Structure 1
């Protein structure tokens, strides 16, 4: 097939549908109806001569060939964006797109300098389309590796192969309970033995060693992000770990209590992650310099 501009649009629709996992979920982003999306998908399948997905009452699922087309399309989009950025660099301006993935609950962290980095980057000459997206740590890493994100920011204790990390700062976590939790309302001193009688929240991305070390009671809830964990803890029915900076507001209000903070705590390192060996555009290189500079690090 001879590639055309209309084919690029069809691939963009396909990528959005695959990312959202459904036609209806992609409507708002694409600003077209589900029926139009379906027509575009059919047209793309006819152009390529392959079945891209299974769709119907059982839901949406990519075929094996559909996954290969999706991976190729994402590489194509990245190459187009990189080309745009490099041409802009030749003219002495920053152009193209910059996609950054973040973990949740960073906005209250005083050590995070994302806003300062973006402020410095925004003063530079050019016109860069900036996208910030929030993801679970594992998905964020994979999307950086796949080129969906140019870089990622978060805590990644188990970095996947093919990525490199630039350490930024440490974040302290403590075990918290709501003031209405039975453990807090009990007038007796809290001991680690007492914790074994109360429900804990686990993080879905923890490994077995993390769980053995941090989960001191029965696990009866699972989360993959920090804010849902805060909601469960505030219910008064669960114990769980939170970053100190996030919990501070509710601690000061008397709604949350740190449990045995001298004994039960852990530290995680936040990093900027990038794909190894991938050619970086001038736009990305400039953002890395501004970002590391905001954190007082050498780029």
Structure 2
């Protein structure tokens, strides 16, 4: 591997994540990759290097002597790449370079979110930054950060991935909704309604690890549908055949039109903590630092406490 390409940098990032996690299985969640994919890409890196990097079996996972050497070198290389990107952007007195930011879907309409005001602040700065905005699920945003393909992400993340830093930003209020045409749409908000809800087709978000249903005291078997995007959740609820949580700001327009109704809003509601996420141990670029400052300066609500 005399010349290191983008492909090899990606393979080295995967290897470092596997080593940090202590094995292939433990790294799957951090990488958002299946076991076979992790194994295939590790084998590809070993072929390119012509060396066995790790051993795994019943006795556990460990790096070979050459694997430890490659790990230390890869760490220095990846840190140097990130440092170069950050320093290169400061050569001009103005902010410059590429800034890659990730967001969750269905957040633009939240009047309490600092994202739009922060981007307005950032746009008012004297800069030549080329923005790349990505909208994806929490696990995919985390993977893109670990791969070095995002500088920062803003969203609600139900878990903590090794190698990432999470900084509280603001809360997003969610309530439990029913669509017009559903048999519970006109039901009174009494405690008996909760028992009726448990009999209905319910939606869970895959990345929330069933916490949506746990709030109702239900098990995994109670989910009738699983989605990874808020738009998909809204479609199912609006169909009148399913019940599920939605952000209050996102549902507001349909509520005003009489197409959605929040059930037991005083009981079935929670605040999703939104956070700024960056790679741990890597100095972010000056442009990313400025956007983080603008996000924090633009928030109007204190950050929510992450759920236990």
- Could you tell me the TM-score, scaled by structure 1's length? 0.71
Name the structure 2 match of 1:203: 205
Q: Quick one: structure 1 residues 142 and 87, their matched pair in 2 at CA, closer, same or farther if it must change by over 3 Å?
A: closer
Cα separation, 1, equivalents of 2:286 and 2:301: 19
Name the structure 1 match of 2:267: 263
Name the structure 2 match of 1:171: 172
In the alignment, structure 1 segments of 5+ residues that lack a partner are 16-60
Q: Which of 211, 214, 239 lines up with 1:212 in the alignment?
A: 214
Q: Quick one: structure 1 residues 219 and 230, their matched pair in 2 at CA, closer, same or farther if it must change by over 3 Å?
A: same
Name the structure 2 match of 1:91: 92
Name the structure 2 match of 1:49: none
RMSD: 3.6
Higher RCO (C-alpha 8 Å, min separation 6): 2
Name the structure 2 match of 1:145: 146
Q: Quick one: structure 1 residues 84 and 10, their matched pair in 2 at CA, closer, same or farther if it must change by over 3 Å?
A: same
Cα separation, 2, equivalents of 1:121 and 1:276: 24
Name the structure 2 match of 1:128: 129
SS in 1 for 2:98: strand
Cα separation, 1, equivalents of 2:277 and 2:196: 40
| Residue 77 of structure 1, CA deviation | 9.3
Name the structure 1 match of 2:105: 104
Cα separation, 1, equivalents of 2:92 and 2:247: 44
Name the structure 1 match of 2:18: none
Cα separation, 1, equivalents of 2:94 and 2:101: 20
**Does the 8 Å contact 2:189/2:263 carry over to 1?**
no
Count of equivalent residues: 250
Cα separation, 1, equivalents of 2:85 and 2:145: 19
SS in 1 for 2:265: coil
**Does the 8 Å contact 2:205/2:212 carry over to 1?**
no
Q: Over residues 249-295 of structure 1, what are the superposed CA-to-partner deviations in whole Å (9 max), with x where a residue is unaligned? A: 00011010111112211221111111221122222222222222222
| Residue 170 of structure 1, CA deviation | 1.1
Cα separation, 1, equivalents of 2:237 and 2:99: 36
2:237 counterpart of 1:233: yes
SS in 2 for 1:86: helix
Q: Over residues 19-65 of structure 1, what are the superposed CA-to-partner deviations in whole Å (9 max), with x where a residue is unaligned? A: xxxxxxxxxxxxxxxxxxxxxxxxxxxxxxxxxxxxxxxxxx96434
Name the structure 1 match of 2:61: none
Name the structure 2 match of 1:18: none
Q: Quick one: structure 1 residues 286 and 184, their matched pair in 2 at CA, closer, same or farther if it must change by over 3 Å?
A: closer
| Residue 161 of structure 1, CA deviation | 2.1
**Does the 8 Å contact 1:172/1:243 carry over to 2?**
yes
Q: Quick one: structure 1 residues 79 and 104, their matched pair in 2 at CA, closer, same or farther if it must change by over 3 Å?
A: farther
In the alignment, structure 2 segments of 5+ residues that lack a partner are 12-38, 49-72, 303-308
Cα separation, 1, equivalents of 2:275 and 2:189: 41
**Does the 8 Å contact 1:89/1:282 carry over to 2?**
yes
2:286 counterpart of 1:282: yes
SS in 2 for 1:129: strand
**Does the 8 Å contact 2:114/2:298 carry over to 1?**
yes
Q: Quick one: structure 1 residues 196 and 66, their matched pair in 2 at CA, closer, same or farther if it must change by over 3 Å?
A: same
Name the structure 1 match of 2:42: 64
Cα separation, 2, equivalents of 1:115 and 1:225: 20
Q: Quick one: structure 1 residues 123 and 168, their matched pair in 2 at CA, closer, same or farther if it must change by over 3 Å?
A: same
Cα separation, 2, equivalents of 1:214 and 1:10: 45
